């Protein structure tokens, strides 16, 4: 299939000539113009440096304007470039519009935002790839800003629509809930969880090098693709920067594919799952420590603070908090092992050493010790009951013995079977690579 490579020096002819008058290229070739003619005569090598990629699903209303601004962006960048439209099954004639304007259309069968982008990236010829939506909300003529950052050695260049990063949001371009709630909150979470320098975590206009994309090893196919790209770039310690961009009102007459609340939750959920430390481990440790402190104190006697008395009822709640905290800590380890094994998270040397130390045998041993301690306390409570000829006992004193006993038994059983489950998650296969000691 011919590939149209837009050269900055002659890009001005595109706005006067038809799509069939432009230079037509096969892979890595360029036609040299004969005076007074546009048809190809001979070919010389010229690699594409910049690919502008647009995922497309029924964007006939706005696609032409996006391709025109993309041409201008290549001209301003001053590098050989191409325009790819990754079509995800359009039925409104979008592919024909793209071909007529000289863009290369790549049909992608894998449905979803990430699936379309992945197919387009695989077909791209450029060493730098700039992706953005085809709804005319982004100004592709700003491509030169991204190219300058690539030339400076950055591997992921994020656009920033928010004023905090120098961006501009034109009136009507972003709903208030996205501008003042969704994007700032999600970007803040991303900066805290993953130490990402970008102020606009979910800007759709972003660029990356082909080599960086290979390092990211992205797995998702839906809207989470954008979040995964930024998260994995931080995990891989890629050079990340951002440039200010302008967000314009969506040029389509139909509703956008994006659903703010649904997709916002999907992004937040994805970020939480990618950070088991913050989702499970930190709250689990906090709850466990808090519960242990209160349970240990109330197991001995009641506590009075001012006019408030904390007795066996509070002891039961404290033990419940300990159980919940322990489960969250276990979930943190489960999630980490699973995510590393499936390639969603990179291997963590510190976690690998901990995973090696807390093996199945040690987990079972720890669980048995806790279980035996609980059984011993329960046996003591039964002995005291036997001493009373199995009659009535003071309720508060009896519960103060029974609640810690059954809590330890529950924790011991959980520790034993959690160790078995962790060991199962850590099994290596030809396709799974769980944490391994360094």
Each residue's pLDDT tens digit, 187-239: 888 888 888 888 898 898 999 999 999 999 888 887 788 888 999 999 899 99
Q: Is 68 exposed, middle or buried (0-12, 13-18, 19+ CB in 10 A)?
A: middle
- Give 286-345 pLDDT, tens digit per residue: 999 999 999 999 998 888 888 888 899 999 999 999 999 999 999 999 988 888 887 777
DSSP string, 109-172: -S-SHHHHHHHHHHH---SEEEE--SSS-B-GGGHHHHHHHHHTT-SEEEEE-SGGGT-EE-TT
Verdict on whether the full-model pTM lies above 0.75: no
Q: In the numeric block, which tokens belong to residue 159?
A: 């656009």
C-alpha radius of gyration, the chain, whole number: 30
Q: Are residues 233 and 304 in the same domain?
A: no
DSSP string, 385-404: HHHTTT----HHHHHHHHHH
- 430 inside domain: no
Beta pairing partners, 158: 206, 242
What are the φ and ψ backbone dihedral angles of 225, each rounded to 5 degrees? -55, -40
- 3 inside domain: no
Instruction: Identify the CATH number of the domain in which residue 258 sits.
Output: 3.90.550.10
Q: In the numeric block, which tokens belong to residue 243?
A: 């440039």
Q: Are residues 315 and 258 in the same domain?
A: no
CB 323 within 8 A of CB 415: no
Final residue before a domain boundary, out of 273, 299, 332: 273
| DSSP state for residue 197 in the 8-state scheme | -
> So what's the pLDDT on residue 122?
94
Q: Which of 41-45, 60-64, 353-357 has the lowest mean pLDDT?
A: 41-45
Q: Are residues 288 and 221 in the same domain?
A: no
**Most confident option among 150-164, 188-202, 251-265:** 150-164
- 436 inside domain: no
What is the tally of helices (H) and strands (E) in the chain? 15, 13
Final residue before a domain boundary, out of 238, 273, 308: 273
- 235 inside domain: yes
Q: Are residues 13 and 154 in the same domain?
A: yes
Question: Which structural domain, as residue segments, surrounds residue 163?
Answer: 8-273
What's the N-to-C CA distance of the chain in angstroms? 47
Final residue before a domain boundary, out of 273, 303, 338: 273
| Domains contained in the chain, number | 2
Cα dihedral angle (154, 158, 160, 164), rounded to 10 degrees?
Answer: -60
Q: Are residues 194 and 303 in the same domain?
A: no
pLDDT over 70, % of the chain: 87
Q: In the numeric block, which tokens belong to residue 32?
A: 């040299």
């Amino acid at each position: 299939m011919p590939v149209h490579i837009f050269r900055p020096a002659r890009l001005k002819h595109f706005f006067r000539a038809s799509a069939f008058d432009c230079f037509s290229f096969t892979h890595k070739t360029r036609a040299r113009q004969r005076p007074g003619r546009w048809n190809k005569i001979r070919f010389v090598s010229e690699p594409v440096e910049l690919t502008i990629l647009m995922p497309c699903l029924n964007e006939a209303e706005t696609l032409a304007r996006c391709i025109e601004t993309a041409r201008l962006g290549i001209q301003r960048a001053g590098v050989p470039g191409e325009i790819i439209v990754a079509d995800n099954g359009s039925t409104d004639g979008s592919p024909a519009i793209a071909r007529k304007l000289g863009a290369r259309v790549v049909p992608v069968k894998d449905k979803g935002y990430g699936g379309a982008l992945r197919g387009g990236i695989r077909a791209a010829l450029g060493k730098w790839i700039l992706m953005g939506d085809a709804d005319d909300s982004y100004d592709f003529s700003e491509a030169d800003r991204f190219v300058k950052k690539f030339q400076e050695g950055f591997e992921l260049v994020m656009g920033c629509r928010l004023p905090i990063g120098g961006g501009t949001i034109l009136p009507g371009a972003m709903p208030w809930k996205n501008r003042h709630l969704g994007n700032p909150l999600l970007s803040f979470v991303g900066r805290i969880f993953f130490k990402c320098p970008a102020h606009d975590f979910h800007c759709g206009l972003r660029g990356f090098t082909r080599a960086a994309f290979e390092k990211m090893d992205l797995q998702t196919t839906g809207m989470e693709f954008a979040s995964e790209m930024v998260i994995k770039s931080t995990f891989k310690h890629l050079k990340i920067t951002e440039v200010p961009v302008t967000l314009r009102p969506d040029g389509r007459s139909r509703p956008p594919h994006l659903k703010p609340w649904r997709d916002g939750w999907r992004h937040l959920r994805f970020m939480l799952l990618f950070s088991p430390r913050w989702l499970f481990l930190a709250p689990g440790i906090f709850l466990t420590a808090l519960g242990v402190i209160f349970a240990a104190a109330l197991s001995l006697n009641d506590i009075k603070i001012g006019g408030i008395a904390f007795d066996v009822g509070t002891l039961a709640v404290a033990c419940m908090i300990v159980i919940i905290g322990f489960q969250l800590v276990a979930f943190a380890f489960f999630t980490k092992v699973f995510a590393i094994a499936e390639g969603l998270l990179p291997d963590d040397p510190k976690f690998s050493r901990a995973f090696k130390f807390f093996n199945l045998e040690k987990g079972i041993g720890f669980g048995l010790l806790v279980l035996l301690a609980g059984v011993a306390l329960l046996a003591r409570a039964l002995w005291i009951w036997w001493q009373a000829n199995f009659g009535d006992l003071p309720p508060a004193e009896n519960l103060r013995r029974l609640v810690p006993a059954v809590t330890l038994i529950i924790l011991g059983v959980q520790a034993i079977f959690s160790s078995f489950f962790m060991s199962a998650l850590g099994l290596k296969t030809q396709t799974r690579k769980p944490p391994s000691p360094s």
